[in-house]
Structures are given as C-alpha cells and as structure tokens.
Amino acid sequence: MEQRNLGGLMVSALGLGCMGMTSAYGPAGEPAAMARLIRQAHDLGVTHFDTAEAYGPFANESLLGEALAPIRDQVVVATKFGFDIDPVTGARGPAGTNSRPDQIRRVAEASLRRLKRDRIDLFYQHRVDPAVPIEEVAGTVRDLIHEGKVGHFGLSEAGLATIRRAHAVQPIAAVQSEYSLFWREPEAALLPLLDALGIGFVPFSPLGAGFLTGAITEATTFAADDFRNLVPRLAPEARRANMALVALVQDLAQGLGATPAQVALAWLLQRRPAISPIPGTTKPHRLIENLGAAALSLSPEDLTRIETALADFTPEGARLPQAVLAMTGL
C-alpha cells in the first residue's frame, strides 16, 4: 500500500482504527478473532494502527500488543493519553481530563507495557485539558521523545490556537479529528493550518460511524451499549434527512464499480497528501472492502459531482453528543 508522510512519520495510506474491537460499538469482539483481523490488516498492507488507553479501558492496547508482538518492528502504533482514568479499576474520574505531567508519564509507561513495545510511535493528547497549559503537555511529551519512549507527538480534537502553541514547543506529527463526507468542517481552517505547519492529518469516523456504507437505514437499531445511540446525527429522525447523502455516494459507487465505503475513503485520500484515515471494523470482509479504497481513483469529474451535490446538502444533527463536544477544544 502507498505510504503517507505524517509530519515525518511514514504510515500506510489507510490505517486501522481499533477502538470498536473492544468498546463503543456494541459488544466487544472475540479477542482471538480480533487479533487475527489485526494481523490480516498488516498482511494487506496496513502499517498504521490506532488505539488508546481509554478504549476498554486498557483492553484495546492489550489486544493490539498481543496481536502485533511478532511484527512490532514492522508497524506504527498510535495511542493516547489525557483522560482521568483510574490505573487499577479503569473508572473515569470526576475531572474528565487529566494531562498533568506525572499522569502523562504514568500513562506512557503503562501503555508501553500493554503494547509490548519499547517506544510509542505516535502519542496523542486525547482531549485538551483546560487545567494544564498545552505548553506543559508538549514539553512533557518532548522529554519522553528525548528519552526514547515516544517517537512523535499528536493532538486529537484540538483547536487551532492549541495546535499552534503546542507545535511551538514540540513539533506535532499529526492531528486527529473527525472528517468525512458526513463532516467537512476541518476544511474551513484546520486543514489549511496543518498544511502551513507541515502536520499530518488522521481522520477518525471516515465512514460517518458506518452511515456512509449504506448499511444503516432509518429502521436500523443499535445494541444497547453502542455509542451511536447517543449521536444526534444518527437519531432516526436525523437519519431520514441524511439519507440523501448516502444515496449520492451509492449512486456514484455503482457507476465506478465500487462500494459506498470505498468511494468515501477514496475521496478522503485525495483531499491532501499528508492524510491517513483510520476506518475501523470487526469483520474481515469489511476490512478487505475498506482497504480496496486505496486502489480507487476518483476522476476530476467524480470529485466535481461530489462537490456539486454536497453544496446543497446540510447534515441534520450534531456530530457528537454535547458532553463529548464540550471536551473537543474546537
């Protein structure tokens, strides 16, 4: 698979978001099956794997560490710090976020053990902590880089001023935020800033939490513990209005002999060179489908058709629950 440069870190054009294997999208996958899926992704060219201590908590990092142990020198693993999580019980603390220097160091050491690695390739601040200056956060990660425990620094869901301030202390390799045909706000100011600073971009939810695949309809029901039950944009009444976007992607995909997921991912890959979307899945056939997007090229006419159609489309509903949006820093 083609490689992309994220601020000096080389990764596969498409990565694998591993969160849903252990949390957020209903029941966790069977560990042995998820480990096989992770190894299959690598066999198909994926070198960029995304996890976090918060996914589980802790279970996702442990799963990835076991699965990638035999090939750990052949892959790039990104994980995250920044939430107030009890290191023993995994319970969330009252503060919500916690990026104090001692906490960042504690998380780094614990993540290294679970991931069975000597270095975290890409260490993101998961959410901005209003109680800790970003310069202090960046300085702590800079020290971890100098100590050889971290390779590169990243920010997730950070605002423009935060990115500038952090980058001045420790160069940022990548910023992670939601971006897809379903959510294009990063184009307004975030992507131009990243281009100017030479920072890579890692879109999460590149398939709109599955909506852009066409597999979700107005009648779809999610498992009781599926995060999508809380997403305003995926409420049944919002889905009804948003199906117009799915119809557009389905129509374009049919003409290209591709699937809607492949069109949505190919569109992202052609937005800028320094981008590596991280679609997630627990199903081998969906993995193969998603990775097929790396070989799909949209013509200028295809891209114009998408832009023309999107000009008349306004998504219904907020992209995330209000409690989550309050922590994004955007």
Q: Which one from 25, 55, 124, 179 is the annotated catalytic residue?
A: 55
Q: Which residue has the tokens 């890579």?
A: 200
CA gap 1, 10 in Å, rounded: 12
User: Furthest-apart CA pair in the chain: how many Å?
Assistant: 54
CA gap 89, 85 in Å, rounded: 8
**Paired tokens of 189:** 């100011």
Q: Which residue has the tokens 């800028």?
A: 272
CA gap 77, 175 in Å, rounded: 15
Amino acid at 287: L
CB 222 within 8 A of CB 203: no
**Paired tokens of 48:** 């960029």
Neighbours of 268 (CB within 10 A): 23
* Cα angle for residues 40, 46, 128 (degrees, 5° grid): 120
Tell me if residue 55 is catalytic: yes
CA gap 105, 143 in Å, rounded: 10
**Paired tokens of 140:** 């702590």
- Residues with a catalytic annotation lie at 55
